[in-house]
Chain A
């Protein structure tokens, strides 16, 4: 606030000085000019009346000559100063208004506001650099889960969009360059409650800079970075960036997974989606000959992954000078029939349109589908705004980098146990995954249910910990019982259980719990709410264990002891 206050004072110095000079001269003059009183005797206005008259003259241009009618000399003086005082007032007010609407003051005000809001945060929060497509998806997902975030974004219109989206959870948004450490400081990089920093700007170098700044200024904070090239990734990894997300590599890996284990892929896709999202069906990526149009970062990542799975891939790329091109590459434009036919589109099982131009990609898939309607089509969508266009297109899979990034990072930030579960689940075969997806589909009625973690510790499950410390046995099945009717089991699936002896997928319900265990459940929101209740409420847990409701109050306990 100090900044803003001093700025106003400094800028108003000139107008205020002018105003006082004008008032002093006008008042002084009135006291010197001879006048007459109501009896016609000579009279001089004193300072009291002179200042009173000038004050109302300056603001209202006068409404009467007081205390006696003026002489012509006094009138002439008043006439001159009516104009001068009015002009000075207009100048002063104009200066104040232009100051209030100046960008300088607005910036000082927003910086002050962001600084104050960030310093008031008491709960753990995430600093997100870049409020583009993936940034805004992340922020809204975090809001939905009542988790705090702060944002640094270089474009003012994106900050405006953030402010318009504002709901009950306040997200401080700073308009500024995230590669400037001062801006990151304002957004809370050194704040003791800052847990994660997410670098999602469009510029690889800026993301790198954010990662190194974070590691230097606050080594406790964990850094999640978007990176589009392998050199940058290696650089980020060299100083310990915790999570590096490459949208093209991760999509290529998913695609590879989808070709040899479609249900594993489906499981991962579902668990990475938002609760309430539609549960889509498994898509069987056919094996055979594939055509990849465009050999940029996306094309290369896909090519590498498919070749490693033993698929035969034909590349079409207009730029013959591009590095690492396979020997049999067809140089040309994939949007035309000629090159697609040359690449063997009639015999191919699928085509991947992976250029960095959305119109070209659409053109490729439409032409290819015309030539061979049975093709499996994967398309790279570059602009988030074209989403509807790609949905309506004949593509089987549309890959949108910002969506891939947002899904991955959301899981890291909100429920990292999902990734632990998935990496364990990879070891099982696809039939196992298929059985699990069927259970999830049954449970969710075609919509993605909630997933939640349970930590067996004092903060998150006090009732559980107390019971365990008394030496009583608790099993996973107990958590899945309904505390309103213990004969009834909550519609949830225990996905994962980790304790000091290891981590397990789909733990059996008779597994014993210990303090410090971590679990992952899947089920509807109501079941989640009920389970959390019995984690925290001792009498609810007591009822689940014994079937009896124990008295809670001192009087109740005393009565129970006397009567029982």
Chain B
């Protein structure tokens, strides 16, 4: 067992699960999407990205790319949230909530690709 692999697999899967937790629910209903979940999703995805820094294998590079996509999607979602509430001061209307959740939905897809790649790597290794 390789501790580095455990930590990385844990982070990748946690990134997907936490993000999915935020994403699930009615798309335009603020009561179904908690801000702390979005916060945790951003953090876990950032950690997953940093963990892949300096990995020179091909699959490592693709994993870094998918994590980067997820982070960018989620940070954009958080930015929309902050802009709507504090700058434009229109509050969490259903339009705003829908764009936030759809952005995080994109991140869920990226996370799913990460997990798929991880699975492929494990299957290829067969150890």
Which A residues form the contact surface with B (CB < 8 A)? 6-7, 9-13, 16-17, 20-21, 24, 27-28, 31, 46-49
Answer whether residue B113 sits at the interface, using C-beta atoms and an 8 A cutoff.
no
A13 touching B54, Cβ below 8 Å: yes
B53 touching A9, Cβ below 8 Å: yes
Query: Closest chain A residue to B43 by CB distance?
Result: A24
CA distance A12 to B85 in the complex (A): 35
Which B residues form the contact surface with A (CB < 8 A)? 35-36, 39, 43, 46-47, 50-51, 53-54, 56, 78, 81-82, 85-86
11 other contacts beyond A10-B53, A13-B51, with CB at 8 A cut-off? Answer: A6-B54, A12-B53, A13-B50, A13-B54, A16-B50, A16-B53, A28-B36, A28-B39, A47-B35, A47-B39, A47-B82
Query: Closest chain A residue to B78 by CB distance?
Result: A47
Q: List 18 A-B pairs, Cβ < 8 Å.
A: A6-B54, A9-B54, A10-B53, A10-B54, A12-B53, A13-B50, A13-B51, A16-B50, A17-B47, A17-B50, A20-B47, A20-B50, A24-B39, A46-B35, A47-B35, A47-B39, A47-B78, A48-B85
Residues from chain B with Cβ under 8 Å of A9 in the complex: 53-54
Residues from chain B with Cβ under 8 Å of A12 in the complex: 53
Residues from chain A with Cβ under 8 Å of B85 in the complex: 46, 48
Residues from chain A with Cβ under 8 Å of B47 in the complex: 17, 20-21
Residues from chain A with Cβ under 8 Å of B50 in the complex: 13, 16-17, 20
Residues from chain A with Cβ under 8 Å of B86 in the complex: 46, 48-49
CA distance A173 to B63 in the complex (A): 38
Of A7, A20, A47, which contacts B46 at CB under 8 A?
A: A20
| Chain A proximity of B35: nearest CB distance (Å) | 6
| Chain B proximity of A238: nearest CB distance (Å) | 43
Residues from chain A with Cβ under 8 Å of B43 in the complex: 20, 24
A13 touching B53, Cβ below 8 Å: yes
CA distance A137 to B51 in the complex (A): 51
A7 touching B54, Cβ below 8 Å: yes
A48 touching B53, Cβ below 8 Å: no
CA distance A21 to B50 in the complex (A): 12
Residues from chain B with Cβ under 8 Å of A46 in the complex: 35, 85-86
A17 touching B82, Cβ below 8 Å: no
| Chain B proximity of A222: nearest CB distance (Å) | 38
CA distance A433 to B114 in the complex (A): 83
Residues from chain A with Cβ under 8 Å of B82 in the complex: 47-48
CA distance A6 to B39 in the complex (A): 29
Query: Closest chain A residue to B61 by CB distance?
Result: A6
CA distance A24 to B85 in the complex (A): 21
Q: A46-B85, A47-B35 are in contact. Are A17 and B51 (CB under 8 A)?
A: yes
| Chain B proximity of A13: nearest CB distance (Å) | 5
Residues from chain A with Cβ under 8 Å of B39 in the complex: 24, 27-28, 47
A11 touching B54, Cβ below 8 Å: yes
CA distance A13 to B54 in the complex (A): 8
CA distance A172 to B85 in the complex (A): 58
CA distance A13 to B52 in the complex (A): 8
CA distance A246 to B56 in the complex (A): 48
CA distance A6 to B35 in the complex (A): 35
CA distance A28 to B39 in the complex (A): 8
Residues from chain A with Cβ under 8 Å of B81 in the complex: 48
CA distance A7 to B53 in the complex (A): 9
CA distance A11 to B53 in the complex (A): 9
| Chain A proximity of B77: nearest CB distance (Å) | 12
| Chain B proximity of A24: nearest CB distance (Å) | 5
